[in-house]
Amino acid sequence: MEILSHLLDGFAVAGTPTNLLICLIGAFLGTIIGMLPGLGPINGVAILLPIAYAMRLPPESALILLAAVYSGCEFGGRISAILINVPGDAGAVMTTLDGYPMAKNGLAGPALSISAVASFTGAIVATVGIVAFAPLLANWALAFGPAEYFALMVLALSCLGGLVGDSLLKAMVGVLIGLMIACVGIDANSGVYRFTFDLLHLSDGIPFIVVVIGLFAVSELMLMLQSHHGSTTPVEVTGRTMFNMQEFALAKWTILRSSVVGFFVGVLPGAGASIASAMTYSMERRMAGKDHCFGEGDVRGVAAPEAANNASAYGSLIPMLTLGVPGSGTTAVMIGALTLYNITPGPTLFQDQPGIVWGLIASLAICSVMLVLMNIPLVKLFVKFLQIPNWVLVPGVAAVSMVGVYAVHGTTFDLIVGTLLGGFGYLLRVMNFPMAPFILGFVLGDMMEQNLRRALSISNGELNILFSSPISIGLWVAAIAMLLGPRLAKALEARRQGPAVI
């Protein structure tokens, strides 16, 4: 009952006219940002965050805006996936497999509408999941001391290392570079200047926004230029825009299953929307048996990844809200948003700032309703945005990114650091270094160091304290398992198949 009353309070916060308007604008912008290839939730949230801050929005409104953009992106990614065969964001990669063939067969309308309903279901299932699990987890996490927190952050980072990309070494380099950048600035405990090289601008450290916009916006534009091949024309949306009952009947269980799986994958730190959608797609494909046309335009192939990526996007808010440890790049940026407002994310958030937390959760539900209502009838309007030529879009994004960086401190120094980091990010990305570990390392760096030092202060320097409580031992074991598990499984698989080939 207590949760219900909190939730009602949340709806009161999210339901004020201003916040509803912010939600609507965020959802609309998010759909467009998600739809445009190259711009995804991370860039969208990163660019809008400083602008929201500079507009002096109160923290709950700013967070609602970011959450609306985040969920809008997950909705928007599917439009370009279906119509031009290019995923608008990472979560929509799997949607291209069946979405584009459907559009080619003249079924663009049904593909778009069933995926909108799937996204909506995923979002609602995950919202219910957040309401059910987040307060429990927050309560449990209240018992965490600094040693447990340190172990938890190691777990979050190693989840990424285990799941992300091909190379553990590259993921580790990413994390360490992020941690290294986080070390720059005044040390909060002792007041010692670290790695500032007597530059006044570095004494507060490199601002979060500068790093994120440099890494994700500037380097993204450079990558866009690298893969620029003129424009692509979207498949026209003709015929019926709604799916029929037969298609719905085929996809309904797929949607529900994928939503639930997507949610739980999202809750795991490190495993984001792209993993959730890939997992559910192959799961559904296997479950369909012989009776399917996956890969040639099966509705289930569109519904599964879309339900999963929305559910996991919302699910990844759980570790952020309850533990203060982000589970994905985008939620890392949102943590940055909270710290910009001097709010420390973590288990106490539910007690100290119930208005913000429950307002955010309520706005997720409101936002999904707005998005599904907006996306089905207005899809033709959204498609118009796909026709914005790159020669306007790219300079526009560059300018808006600079506005975002400038809004923080208003110094040329930040702009230059951001651009240089962008060039560095471009090199890293061309060499296939994953970016998520980098940004997570950067966000967690300060918290990790603080918790480590606090833990060692308690034990007077004894390292044993890190491994003394059952919770922290469990977390360390989980961290090692996440790091080695996927690789061991792969190695075993290879060994089992090895002799059979010979």
Partner 1 sequence: MSERIFGAFLLLLSVGGIFVGWDLKAPISYEPVGPRAFPLLVFSLLGVCALGLILTRREATEWAPSPVLLRVGAMFLTVLAYALLFDKLGFVISTALMSVPLARFFGGTWRQAMLAGAGLGVLLFLFFDRLLDVVLPVGYWLKPLLG
Name which of residues 329 to 348 contact partner 1 (CB under 8 A).
Answer: none
In the block, which residue shows the tokens 């959608």? Answer: 277
Q: Classify 38 in phi/psi space as left (phi over 0), alpha (psi -120 to 50) or beta.
A: left
Q: What are phi and psi of 343, to 5 degrees?
A: -105, 125
Query: Please, which residue, 142 or 399, has the CB nearer to partner 1?
Result: 399
* Of the residues 191, 289, 470, 498, which one makes contact with partner 1 according to CB under 8 A: 191
Looking only at residues 84 through 113 of this chain, which bind partner 1 when binding is defined by CB under 8 A?
none
**Residue 494, Cβ density class (10 Å: 0-12 exposed, 13-18 middle, ≥19 buried):** exposed
Which residues on adjacent β-strands are paired with residue 193? Answer: 186
Contact 154, 437 (CB under 8 A): no
* Chosen residue from 73, 123, 151, 173 binding partner 1 by CB under 8 A: 173
Q: Containing H/E element for 193?
A: strand 193-194
Per DSSP, the three-state class of 1 is coil
* 108-141 helix and 2-14 helix, angle to the nearest 10 degrees: 130
Chosen residue from 246, 387, 460, 497 binding partner 1 by CB under 8 A: 460
Determine, following the binding rule CB under 8 A, whether residue 169 of this chain makes contact with partner 1. Answer: yes
Q: Name which position in 12, 128, 177, 484 contacts partner 1 (CB under 8 A).
A: 177
How many chain residues are in contact with partner 1, going by CB under 8 A? 67
Q: What are phi and psi of 392, to 5 degrees?
A: -100, -40
502 touching partner 1, by CB under 8 A: no
Map residues 10-49 to x or -, x wherever contact with partner 1 holds by CB under 8 A. Answer: ----------------------------------------
Please tell me what DSSP assigns to residue 185.
E
How far is Cα 95 from Cα 42, in angstroms, rounded to an integer?
Answer: 19
Phi/psi for 411 (5° steps) reads -120, 150
Mark residues 378-407: x for contact with partner 1 by CB under 8 A, - for none. -----------xxxxxxxx-xxx-xx--xx
Residue 494 Cβ, how far from partner 1 at the closest point, in Å?
18
Q: Which tokens hold the place of 78?
A: 């599917």
Pick from 3, 136, 142, 427: which binds partner 1 (CB under 8 A)? 427
Of residues 224-253, which lie at the interface with partner 1 (CB under 8 A)?
224-226, 228, 230-231
Q: Which parts of this chain interact with partner 1 (CB under 8 A)?
A: 51, 54-56, 167, 169, 172-173, 176-177, 179-180, 183, 187, 189-192, 194-195, 218, 221-222, 224-226, 228, 230-231, 389-396, 398-400, 402-403, 406-407, 410-412, 415-416, 418-420, 422-423, 426-427, 430-432, 448-449, 452-453, 456-457, 460-461
